[in-house]
Structures are given as structure tokens and as C-alpha cells.
Amino acid sequence: MQNNKTITQVEVPEVVVQRLPIYVRILSQLLESHIEIISSHQLGELLQITPAQIRKDLSYFGRFGKQGRGYNIQFLLDELRQILGIDRAWKACLIGLGRLGRAIINYPGFSPEGFEIVAAFDNNVAQYNSNLGTITVQSMDEIAHTVKEKNISIGIVAVPSNQAQSVIDTLVESGITGILNYAPIAPFAPKHIVMRNIDPVLSLQSMTFYMKENDEIN
């Protein structure tokens, strides 16, 4: 326990946790524009939620705004980054270097946010062992050893669907605690593993629920 404001994950609705990184992104953009204070009304417009929802979201973590004076952006940003655990760097490894995997390893957005891909694995080492900058592609046999040696916390899974569950099992056995899965499966992992699926089809299928209603209203 690092401070007296410790929050347990049970208390905070998952939808709030999913929204906090968007707060961070918007507050960072404001700060870059040299804006220092923002009202919950203004922040609500940017986030497209009500000021009441913002106050409720933040109330899980303490009091951030002074009545009638708005939020100090730098302070709120620092606190949210600490709450989310993104005030530190996280080591990740990538498994699978097909078309998707290569797009991921070349994606410039991870590193500035503190997520560093420090290892990459594929069964076809020879094919992919070039053009990856400082990273040397390793055989999948080496996942467990490397994850422990480099103290890697996050596994990014970009293998074909039929290999994904087996790769996830290996990552779990290796001591990984977070998995970002791109394979379009419904993967299984023990409860202590934090898993997110990046799956555009699932996203589209949860959109049409609302679009269908729009259709019916029109």
C-alpha cells in the first residue's frame, strides 16, 4: 500500500476505468494547448458525458475540484496517471510477427505512453529476424525464459486464432499479468490475469445494438 487513498478494483465500475484513459488523453491535449483549469461542464463537453457523471467518476478516487473553481489540469492528470498505473513504464512482449504483428511492432504510439515492447516471438524466426530495430525475434520456446529474465508484465498476442489460446497459456505460465489479445477468439485466462481483446468485429457488433434502435426511431 503506497498511500492512504488506495482504491480496490472492486469498488470502481469497469466502465469508469475504461473512461479514465480518455480523461488522460484529453487533459494532456489541453495542457499542450497551455490550458491550466477546466470546469466539469467544459470537460463534460469534451468527453461527451455530463458534468454530474464526471464528478461521480472522480469521486471514486477522492476530491479533485474545488467548488466553483474547476479542475487544475496538471494536478488531475498527475493523479489519474498514478491511479491508472501509467506514471511508470511497463515492459511488453509481442507474440506473432505476421502482417498484424509487424504493424503492432512498428506502431509509434506505445513507447511515448510508457509501454515498451522489449521482446518479440514467432515460430518462424528466420523469416522475420530483420527490420525490427533493436529487437531480435526469438523462437516461441524462449517465451518463458525471456519473460522472467526481462521482467515483462504484458503479452501482446498477434498469432492466428488457432494458436492464440496456447500462446496465452504459455504467457500465463511465464508470469505475465496482462494480456492484450488481437486474435478473434474468446480466450480463457485465470482470474488474476488482466485481459483486453482488440477485436473490431466485437466493437461493430456492440455498435449495431444502438444503430438498430436509431433505425427503428427514424
Grid cell locating 183: 486474435
Site for its own copies in 82-101 (CB under 8 A): 83-86, 90, 92, 99-100
x/- site string to its own copies, residues 24 to 43, per CB under 8 A? Answer: xxx--x--------------
Grid cell locating 170: 504459455
Q: Name which position in 1, 4, 32, 66 contacts its own copies (CB under 8 A).
A: 1
Query: Looking at beta carbons only, is 48 or 134 nearer to its own copies?
Result: 48
Residue 4 sits in the site that holds its own copies (CB under 8 A): no
- Please name the amino acid found at residue 114: G
Check: CB of residue 181 under 8 Å from CB of residue 198.
yes
Q: How far is CA 73 from the centre of its chain?
A: 22
What is the rounded distance in angstroms from the CA atom of residue 137 to the CA atom of residue 143? 11
CB of 109 to its own copies, least distance (A): 5
CB of 140 to its own copies, least distance (A): 21
Count of residues that interact with its own copies, criterion CB under 8 A: 70
With both helix axes pointing from N to C terminus, report the angle between 73-84 and 14-32 in degrees, rounded to the nearest 10. 140
Q: Name which position in 74, 78, 107, 166 contacts its own copies (CB under 8 A).
A: 107
Residue 103 sits in the site that holds its own copies (CB under 8 A): yes
Distance (Å) of CA 10 to CA 6, 16, 201: 12, 12, 28
What is the rounded distance in angstroms from the CA atom of residue 56 to the CA atom of residue 39? 14
Query: Looking at beta carbons only, is 37 or 185 nearer to its own copies?
Result: 185
Handedness of CA 115, 105, 186, 22 (dihedral sign): positive
Site for its own copies in 160-179 (CB under 8 A): 177-178
Check: CB of residue 65 under 8 Å from CB of residue 71.
yes
Site for its own copies in 41-80 (CB under 8 A): 46-48
Grid cell locating 32: 499542450
CB of 170 to its own copies, least distance (A): 19
Helix (H) or strand (E) holding 19: helix 14-32
CB of 69 to its own copies, least distance (A): 24
Q: Report the interface residues with its own copies, using CB under 8 A.
A: 1-2, 6, 8-9, 12-15, 17-18, 20-22, 24-26, 29, 46-48, 83-86, 90, 92, 99-100, 103-104, 106-107, 109-110, 113, 115, 153-154, 156, 177-178, 180, 184-186, 188, 191-192, 194-196, 198, 200-216
